[in-house]
Amino acid sequence: MNPCKLLICVCLVVAIPLVHAGPKIERWQTTSGTGILFVENHSLPILDVQVDFAAGTAHEFEGKAGVASLTRALVDLGVAGMDEMQIASRMADLGARLSGGVEMDRATIALRTLSMTDKRGPALDMLRAILSTPQFPAAVFDREQARSIATLKEALTRPETIASRAFWAAMYGAHPYGRHATPESVAALVRADVIAFHAANYTAQRARVTIVGDLSRDEAESVAETLTAALPSGPVPTEIAVPALPAAVERRIDHPAVQAHLLVGLPALKRGDPDFFPLAVGNYSLGGGGFVSRLMKEVRDKRGLAYSAHSYFMPLQQLGPFQMGLQTKKTQADDALKVAREVLAGFLEHGPTETELQAAKQNLIGSFPLRLDSNRKLLENVAMIGFYGLPIDYLDRYPENIEKVTTADIKAAFARHLRPEHWVTVVVAGE
């Protein structure tokens, strides 16, 4: 062989694993008992810090639906010695930004700041104050409560919101994942409810901190200790209860919308389940791969029943849903539903073809580096690893775990997780 060609081949063999290598993640625990994950990245003078608390909607007290979202909305709108306008002005002066939100499992407070000492120091001081001395001003509570009620009332007029809520309620029943805030439940909240929820859930033991960016390990340790020392101590969080699988049910809801909204699914997958990879690869072929997926081909391309159709798995701390959905004309709802069910049943029976399998792997592996090409994307992925206790090499092994999936693995995993006797169907605005 030509020596130059041999050199090129060797370089390619060496380079392939490096292309897909995940970031170097370091893990430790602070003296307050908070888990820390850190990725050192000096490519930009930026520091991202995310604090995740086991304080999502699934942790709300009985009869207090909406308190998790209201607490998160208020937590950075007033700290000891500063009101919300002063906080916003200070962050703008520093070129820093606060963000975050609430999911079912967790509530998030995130900070992005320039990494220069004169910028990051004051920005981190502000984050520490938000973590340790939120004030929940009465006037701000009243305003945000009213805003939440108005937002809910408007959302509950939309067929997609009605469909989603009915779908989750049918899947989970009285389980925390099945509960949703209503205008009435939020209106019944008082400021003391927010203070109590914060005290119970925004603690060192319920927190996970992710730091990504332009810091050394020693500097990151100092930041982590300073931030978490400000958190109150509390009990280790109890796990969310395991949801019972529902009996198969179909629910139809009248609505004047022109388009019918169809959802089919069931509780299916928790974070850390080894079946995640065969389910992810299989779902790309079923309904997650856009125009190349079977659902799109059968529902849209062949029959013109919908502009788009989708399916996905949403793993949570406990069984999160598998969802298959589409929108179609009211007069076509039954036909579209029949086709979607047939596609799902056929996939469960036969699995993907070898051609579909290879296309799915190529896409998932090829697009993987794009999931890690910025500080923010790194932060999101590493925070997910930290909060859910996934292996520290999860991102390193992601391409490998995708590549080794077989058609038999997919068929077996789908059979374990998508059993027809538990399928929930919701149709809003059908005929």
Identify the pLDDT of residue 236: 81
Q: Are residues 222 and 102 in the same domain?
A: yes
Pair (193, 77) in one structural domain = yes
| Statement to judge: residues 220 and 309 lie in one domain | no
Confidence at residue 72, expressed as pLDDT on a 0 to 100 scale: 98
Phi/psi for 270 (5° steps) reads -110, 155
Same domain (yes/no): 300, 405: yes
Asked if residue 202 and residue 279 are part of one domain, the reply reads no
pLDDT band at 9 (very low <50, low <70, confident <90, very high): very low
Residues 266 and 219 in one domain: no
- In the chain, the N- to C-terminal Cα span, in Å, equals 69
Residues 177 and 277 in one domain: no
Domain end point (choices 202, 230, 258): 230
> Residues 235-275: pLDDT tens digits?
887 889 999 999 999 999 999 999 999 999 999 999 999 99
Range with lowest mean pLDDT among 11-25, 220-234, 301-315: 11-25
Integer Cα distance of 123 and 340 in angstroms: 50
Range of the domain at 101: 26-230
Give the Cα separation of 15 and 103 in Å (integer).
38
- For residues 262 and 226, state if they share a domain: no
Cβ-contact 146, 153 below 8 angstroms: no
Q: Tell me the pLDDT tens digit for each residue of 53-109.
A: 999 999 999 899 999 999 999 999 999 999 999 999 999 999 999 999 999 999 999
Q: Do 261 and 220 fall within a single domain? A: no
What backbone torsions phi and psi does residue 107 show, to the nearest 5 degrees?
-115, 140
Structural domains of the chain, count? 2
Same domain, 223 and 254: no
In one-letter notation, the amino acid at residue 298 is E
Looking at the structure, tell me whether residues 46 and 153 fall in a common domain. Answer: yes
